[in-house]
Chain A
Amino acid sequence: MPKTAAIALRLLALGIAPGLAAAQDVDFVRDVRPILQRRCESCHGAEKQKSGLRLDVKSEAFKGGDGDGPAIVPGDPASPILARVESEDESDRMPPSGGPLPAAEVATLRAWIERGATWPDGVDLARLEDRRDHWSFKPVRPPAVAIGDDAWSRGPIDRMILDRLTKEGLKPSPEADRTTWLRRVSFDLIGLPPTPEEVAAFVADAHPDAYERVVDRLLASPRYGERWAQHWLDVVRYADTHGFEVNTERPNAWPYRDYVVAAFNADTPYDRFVREQVVGDAMGKDAATGFLVTASVLLPGQIGADDVSKRLARQDAIDEIVVNVGQTFLGLSIGCARCHDHKFDPITARDYYAMQAFVAGVEYEDRPMQTPEALERRRSLAGLKAKAAELDRALARYEPPARPGRVRPKEPSPSINEDSFDPTEARFVRFTILDANLHPTLGLIEPCIDELEIYAEGPDARNLALAAAGAKVTASGSRTSGIHRLEHINDGRYGNSWSWMSDEPGRGTVTVELGGLARVNKVVWGRDRQGVFDDRLATAYTIEAGPSLDAMTTVVDAAPSRPAVDARGNSDRFAPVATRRVRFVVEATNNLEPCIDELEVFDASGVNVALATAGATARSSGDTTVFERHELRFINDGRYGNARSWMSSQVGAGWVEIDLGVERVVERVAWGRDRNGEYQDRLATAYRVEVQASDGSWATVADASDRRPSAAGARKPAGPTFSTAGLDDESARAVRAIQAERKALDGRIAAASREDLAFAGIFRKPDDIRLLNRGDPEQPKDPVAPAVPVALGSLALDARAGEQDRRRALAEWIASPDNPLTARVMVNRIWQGHFGTGLVETASDFGRMGTKPSHPELLDWLAAEFVRSGWAIKPMHRRIVLSATYRQSSRSDAEAAARDADARLLWRYPPRRLDAETIRDSMLAVAGRLDPKMGGPGYDLFDKRGGLSGFTPVESFKGDGLRRMIYAHKVRRERDAVFGAFDCPDAGQSTARRRESTTPIQALNLFNSRFTIDQAAALADVAAREAGEDVDARVRRAYRRVLTRDPTDVEAADAREVVARFGLATLARALLNCNEFLFTP
Chain B
Amino acid sequence: MTPRRGARSLQRRAPRGPLGVLLATVILAAGAALSGCAASSGTVPGCGDPLRLAIIAQSVSSASYVPCISGLAPGWNTSGFDPTQDGTSFLLNSDRSPGQPVTVRLTATCNVSGASPSPSRAPGVLTYTRLDSISPRFVGALYDVFPGGCISYGFDFALGSQIALVEQFEDAIGLYPRQQLRLILKQKLGIELSP
A binds B: no
Contact surface of A with B, Cβ cutoff 8 Å? none
